[in-house]
Amino acid sequence: MMSPTSQRRQRGATLIVGMIMLVVITVMVVSAFKLSTTNLKAVGNMQFHDQALAAAHTVIENELEAAFYNNVGALVNATRTVDIDNNGNADFRVTIAGLSCMRSSLASTATSSSVTLPGMSTVSSYNTIWDFYVTVTDLTAGTTGVSVGVHQGVRVLLTQGQCDAVCAPPVGPCS
């Protein structure tokens, strides 16, 4: 049988071991919480980055679908808004910060027929390489207005007249 003195000592040791275990478990829970918060922020940043790229590409593609060669001068510093999630609210502001013709070269002309009819003309076409630099700013509520810069290279097929009008030397004129 145990004496009353040893029972009192054991009760105190149990309390100390229990407190140490409680502190260890608390530290583990706090560490796990901080780690999950950091991971959540990283995933949020990746999602923002991917959505910003999508917004930039959307604006660039829309501008290229328009009569691009007529708008070149007006496009620099032009601002567009993009609604990525289609909820009716603008999510991103995209500003075309820079646009430059990097290179032009005569496009290869493949003749579709060996017969040339009177009145037909051969129009030279030029492959032009453009560098779009856009900045994308987050407009969603509760954000800090973070901006991302995106460079996008694009090839545009232009006629000789269009190329001469928009590709400044030393890249052009394209004649």
Sheet containing 147-159, strands listed edge to edge, beginning at the edge strand earlier in sequence? 79-82, 92-106, 125-138, 147-159
Angle at 41 between CA 40 and CA 46, to 5 degrees: 100
Distance of CA 123 to the CA centre of its chain: 37
Enumerate the β-bridge partners of residue 81: 93
Contact indicator for 145, 138 with CB cutoff of 8 Å: yes
Give me 37's structure tokens.
């918060």
Q: What's the farthest any 2 CA atoms get from each other in the chain?
A: 123
pTM across the whole model: 0.66
Give me 9's structure tokens.
């000592």
Give me 174's structure tokens.
């394209």
Q: Render each residue's pLDDT in the chain as its tens digit; 175 residues.
A: 566 666 555 667 788 888 999 999 999 999 988 888 888 888 888 888 888 899 999 998 888 877 677 777 778 888 999 998 888 888 899 999 888 888 888 887 655 555 555 554 556 788 889 899 999 988 876 666 678 888 888 888 888 888 888 887 766 567 6
Closest to 58 measured CA to CA, from 75, 74, 86, 81: 81
Sequence-ordered list of residues with C-beta below 8 angstroms from that of 160, at least 6 positions apart, any chain: 123, 124, 125, 126, 174, 175
